[in-house]
Structure 1
Amino acid sequence: MPYRFIPAGIKLAVVRMVAQSHSQSFICETLGEKISKQSFARWTQLYRNTQRVIRDPEEYEKRGPGLILTAEDQAFMIDLLRLEPGLFLDEMRERLYDQTDTLLSMSSLHSMLVEHLQITLKKANTINIKKSLVSKYAYVEKMATVPAEFLVFTDESCVCSRDLLRTFSRSSKGKPANRTIMQQNAKRFTLLPAISVDGIVALTVTEENVKGTNFAHFLKYCLLPRMNPYPGPKSILVLDNAGIHGGARVARLCRNAGVHIVYLPTYCPELNPIELVFSQVKSKLRRSQDLARSVDPEWTIESTTYRVASARLCQKLFHHAGYDCPEDAGGPDMTEFHFCE
Structure 2
Amino acid sequence: MGFILYHPATKVAAVRMLIQGHDQSFIQTALGEPISRQSFGRWMELYQHTRCVIRNPNDYEQQGRPLLLSDSDTKFMIKLVQEEPGLFLDEIRERLYDENGTLLSVEAIHRNLVVKLSITLKKPSTMNIRKCLITKYDYVEKMRFVPAEFLVFTDESAICDRDLLRNFARAPKGSPSARFVVNQNPERISVLPAIGIGGILAMAVTDNTFNGKKWDDFLEWDLIPWMNRYPNHNSILVCDNAKIHKGGRVERICHEAGILIKYLPPYCPELNPIELCFSALKYKLRRSKILNESDDPEWDIQETIDSVITSDLCYKHFRHCGYSVPPKI
Pair 1:196-2:196 in alignment? yes
The amino acid across from 2:146 in the alignment is V
Q: What is the CA-CA distance between 1:23 and the residue it aligns to?
A: 9.4
Instruction: Give the 3 Å change call, closer, same or farther, for CA 301–73 of structure 1 in structure 2.
Output: same
CA 22–199 in structure 1, closer or farther in 2 if over 3 Å, else same: same
Q: Which residue of 2 aligns with 1:183?
A: 183
Structure 1 residue 64: Cα displacement = 4.4
The 3-state SS of whatever aligns with 1:290 is coil
Distance 1:61 1:240 in 2: 62
Shift of 1:62: 7.4
AA partner of residue 65 (structure 1):
R
Contact 2:162–2:186 under 8 Å retained in 1: yes
Instruction: Confirm whether residue 246 of structure 1 aligns to residue 234 of structure 2.
Output: no
CA deviation string 1:132-161 (max 9, x = no partner)? 111111111111111111110000000011
- Normalising by structure 1, what TM-score? 0.78
Say whether 1:126 aligns with 2:126. yes
Indicate the residue corresponding to 2:167 in structure 1: 167
Q: In 1, are the aligned partners of 2:159 and 2:188 still within 8 Å (CA)? A: yes
Number of residue pairs the alignment of both structures matches: 297
* Alpha-carbon distance change, 23 to 190 in structure 1, aligned in 2, over 3 angstroms: closer
Distance in 2, Cα, partners of 1:176 & 1:182: 20
* Aligned-pair identity (%): 52
CA spacing shift, 1:65–1:212, aligned 2, 3 Å = same
113-122 or 249-258, larger mean C-alpha shift = 113-122
Structure-2 residue corresponding to 1:231: 231
Flag the structure with larger Rg: 2
Scaled by the length of structure 2, the TM-score of the pair is 0.81
Return the offset for 1:176: 2.2
Q: Residues 304 and 94 of structure 1: is their aligned pair in 2 closer, same or farther, counting only changes over 3 Å? A: same
Pairs within 5 Å for 1:246-325: 246-325=246-325
**2:88 is equivalent to residue 88 of structure 1:** yes
Please tell me whether the aligned partners of residues 213 and 248 of structure 2 are also in contact (alpha carbons under 8 angstroms): no
Runs of at least 5 residues in structure 1 that lack an aligned partner in the other structure: 4-10, 25-36, 51-59, 330-341
The one-letter code matched in structure 1 to 2:98 is D
| Unaligned residue ranges in structure 2 (runs of 5+) | 11-27, 44-52, 55-59
Q: Distance in 1 between matches of 2:239 and 2:315?
A: 18
CA distance in structure 1 between the aligned counterparts of 2:322 and 2:30, rounded to whole angstroms: 67
Distance 1:117 1:236, change over 3 A: same
Kindly report which structure 2 residues correspond to 1:24-35, keeping only aligned pairs within 5 A, or say none: none
Amino acid at match of 1:140: V
- CA distance in 1: counterparts of 2:317 and 2:81, whole angstroms: 32
Tell me the SS of whatever aligns to 1:127: coil
Distance 1:269 1:182 in 2: 31
Deviation of 1:257 (Å): 1.1
